[in-house]
Amino acid sequence: MAFTVSFGNNGRAEGYSLSIGDGTLQDGAAASSTGGTGGSVGTLVNGAPIAVAGVAGGGTGGSVGVSYDTASNTFDFDVLGSTYNAVKNALVTSDTGAKVALSNFVQVDVSFGGGSDSSVSLANLKRGTIGTGAGNDTVDISLLANNADWQNAVSVSTGAGSDVVTIKNGSAFGGAGVVDGHLTALTIDGGAGNDTIDLSGITAARSASITGGLGNDTLAGSAGGHNTFVYLANVKNGSDTITNFHGDLGDRIALNGMSHTEISLDDGTLVLLGAGGRYGAITLEGVTAVDDHWFI
């Protein structure tokens, strides 16, 4: 396993780099670091900081605490103190699955490969691109923005596997920030597998594109609408359930040219994709009256 994390400012993740390269993350694993100030890395110690990286740059500059927990096999990277925007960028890469938690960075980009399971937890994220491999992955993100004029974007792609993606409100950091997620544009792609994608913990995304992909998925858009649920044309999408569809608030279903048939249920509507449902089905929970302009 080749695992590397870098921190920086000025819109780039640079200035400090931590690498783990012996194939396992556990007590005593060899680690090396370059750049940064105020700490060094020798071996991993359970539950204790293994480094404090000083990061200068275009922001105010600050420090990142680095720790590792063998119980959960998770690296934790936390911007220390309460200075807003102190350390802006983090880049985390691994050629296989990994477990990481990062808090209070402006932008985090994650790129994991391989087929093992990954866990990514990002607290108070403003923008980023998160990609995981073919395992059964968990991505948990809370959102923050600078102010009412700020516009951010977060993209998540979890590849194959039965994945769980949860997006929710952040919390004010250093007493500042807009925390309800309505200033962030979201693009979520669960890939193949039986995925659960839940955006109901944010008030209303600026826009949200949600693709469950192949498999039987459970999907919940952001509260307050502005969600587009995307279906792949002329492939077997599976049987999905959308739990909080609000067409009157701007939610839409993108069928990419496929025909559809609506069947009323006791407490919802079944939408068959293609003739006789050959390309899948969608259950709209609690939706008993459907308007054709919801389908695009």
Quick check: 296 pLDDT over 90?
yes
pLDDT score at 58 = 52
Q: Does residue 221 sit within a domain?
A: yes
Alpha helices in the chain (DSSP H): none
pLDDT score at 227 = 96
Quick check: 36 pLDDT over 50?
no
Quick check: 23 pLDDT over 80?
no
Q: Does residue 257 sit within a domain?
A: yes
Domain membership of residue 281 as a residue range: 113-294
∠183-246-180 over CA atoms, to 5°? 25
pLDDT score at 75 = 86
Interval 218-246 mean pLDDT: 94
pLDDT score at 4 = 81
pLDDT score at 108 = 95
Query: Is residue 47 very low, low, confident or very high in pLDDT (cuts 50, 70, 90)?
Result: very low
Q: Does residue 82 sit within a domain?
A: no
Model pTM score: 0.88
| Residue 186 structure tokens | 């979201």
Q: State the average pLDDT for the chain.
A: 83
DSSP 148: T
Quick check: 241 pLDDT over 90?
yes
The percent of residues in the chain predicted with pLDDT above 90, rounded, is 55
Contact between 4 and 31 under an 8 Å Cβ cutoff? The reply is no
pLDDT score at 24 = 43
Q: Does residue 28 sit within a domain?
A: no
Could you read off the pLDDT of 247-271 as tens digits, one per residue? 999 999 999 999 999 999 999 999 9
Query: Which residue did the predictor score with more confidence, 131 or 65?
Result: 131
Residue type, position 168, single letter: K
pLDDT score at 264 = 95
pLDDT score at 1 = 56
Could you read off the pLDDT of 170-191 as tens digits, one per residue? 887 666 667 777 888 999 999 9
Q: Does residue 279 sit within a domain?
A: yes
Quick check: 41 pLDDT over 50?
no
Q: Does residue 270 sit within a domain?
A: yes
Query: Is residue 68 very low, low, confident or very high in pLDDT (cuts 50, 70, 90)?
Result: confident
Residue type, position 118, single letter: S
Q: Does residue 31 sit within a domain?
A: no
Q: Does residue 98 sit within a domain?
A: no
Phi, psi of 167, deg, nearest 5: -120, 135
Quick check: 93 pLDDT over 80?
yes
Could you read off the pLDDT of 109-131 as tens digits, one per residue? 999 999 999 999 999 999 999 99
Domain count, the chain: 1
> What does the buried/exposed string (b/e) look like for 147-175 if buried means 16 or more CB atoms within 10 Å of the residue's CB?
eeeeebebbbbbbbbbbbbbbbbbeebee
Q: From CA 196, how far away is CA 216, in angstroms rounded?
A: 9
Quick check: 286 pLDDT over 60?
yes
pLDDT score at 156 = 98
Other C-beta atoms closer than 10 Å to the C-beta of 256 total 10
